[in-house]
C-alpha cells in the first residue's frame, strides 16, 4: 500500500474532511487536505534528504497524511484517538504489523504536551506538522475577529522548511508581516512547538533553527 493509494482512499478522505468540519465549528485554523498534504510531503522530504530507505519515507508520508484524523472524535487528545483510528484503518488495509506500529506511534506522539519524538518517523512528522504556519490556514473571516492563532498564521507570508547541504541543520524560515502579528505573539503560542521541534531535530541528528525576517532566533 502506497502513500498515493492512501491519499486517494475515499473513506480516509471522508474522515479528514469531517475532522476539519469539526475544527471549523470551533474556529480553529485549517486542518484539512492542504495541511495534511504539507505535513506528509515535508515528513517525506526530511527522511528522504537524510537518506532513509524509500519505504520508511513512504511510511512517514502516510503518517503525515493521517496524523490529524483524531480531530474527528475531539480536539482534546486528538493524537491518541487519531492513532487508534489509524490503527483500525491500517489493519483493515492489511498493513504489516511492523509498519502499522511505526505509523501509529508517530501519530500518537505528534502533539505538543503529550508527544515525544520516540522514533525517526515521529520526529519527521513533528517537524513537518509544527512548521506548517502560513496565511492561508486562516479561515475566511473579518480581520477584526482574528484570535491570536489567526493573527500569527495570517502574518506569515512565506514559509520554508529546509535541511542544509551538510545535513546538520533543519531551518524553518518565515517571512512575517508584523502589521498582523508580532514575533512575540508567535512565541506566545509556538514556543512549546519550537521546543518540540528542537527535540525532534536532535532525534534525527540535526540542529533546529528558526529564522524570522532574516533574523535567527533559535
Is domain 3-216 classified as CATH 1.10.3210.10?
A: yes
What integer is the mean pLDDT of 198-218?
Answer: 96
| Residue ranges of domains in the chain | 3-216
What is the band of 144 on the pLDDT scale with cuts at 50, 70, 90?
confident
Q: Which of 153, 154, 171 is nearest to 162 (CA)?
A: 171
Question: CA angle 117-78-15, nearest 5°?
Answer: 115
Q: What is the pLDDT of residues 71-117, one digit of tens each?
A: 999 999 999 999 999 999 999 999 999 999 999 999 999 999 899 99
* DSSP codes of every residue in 33-64: HHHHHHHHHHHHHHHHHTT--HHHHHHHHHHH
Angle between helix axes 54-66 and 78-92 (nearest 10 degrees) is 120
* Lowest-confidence region among 26-30, 57-61, 143-147, 153-157: 143-147
Cβ(209)–Cβ(216) under 8 Å?
Answer: yes
Q: What is the pLDDT of residues 165-199, one digit of tens each?
A: 999 999 999 999 999 988 999 999 999 999 999 99
Amino acid at each position: 500500500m502506497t502513500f498515493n493509494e492512501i491519499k486517494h482512499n475515499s473513506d480516509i478522505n471522508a474522515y479528514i474532511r469531517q475532522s476539519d468540519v469539526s475544527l471549523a465549528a470551533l474556529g480553529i485554523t485549517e486542518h484539512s487536505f492542504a495541511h495534511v498534504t504539507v505535513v506528509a510531503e515535508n515528513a517525506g522530504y526530511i527522511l528522504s534528504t537524510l537518506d532513509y530507505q524509500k519505504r520508511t519515507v513512504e511510511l512517514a508520508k502516510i503518517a503525515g497524511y493521517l496524523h490529524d484524523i483524531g480531530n474527528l472524535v475531539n480536539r482534546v487528545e486528538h493524537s491518541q484517538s487519531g492513532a487508534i483510528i489509524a490503527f483500525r484503518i491500517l489493519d483493515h488495509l492489511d498493513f504489516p504489523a511492523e509498519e502499522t506500529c511505526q505509523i501509529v506511534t508517530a501519530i500518537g506522539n505528534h502533539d505538543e504536551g503529550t508527544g515525544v519524538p520516540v522514533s525517526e518517523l515521529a520526529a519527521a512528522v513533528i517537524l513537518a506538522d509544527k512548521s506548517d504556519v502560513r496565511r492561508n490556514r486562516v479561515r475566511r473571516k473579518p480581520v477584526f475577529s482574528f484570535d491570536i492563532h489567526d493573527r500569527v498564521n495570517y502574518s506569515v507570508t512565506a514559509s520554508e522548511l529546509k535541511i542544509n547541504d551538510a545535513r546538520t541543520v533543519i531551518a524553518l524560515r518565515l517571512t512575517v508581516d508584523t502589521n498582523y502579528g508580532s514575533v512575540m505573539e508567535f512565541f506566545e503560542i509556538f514556543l512549546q512547538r519550537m521546543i518540540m521541534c528542537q527535540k525532534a531535530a536532535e532525534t534525527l541528528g540535526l540542529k533546529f533553527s528558526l529564522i524570522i525576517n532574516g533574523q535567527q532566533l533559535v
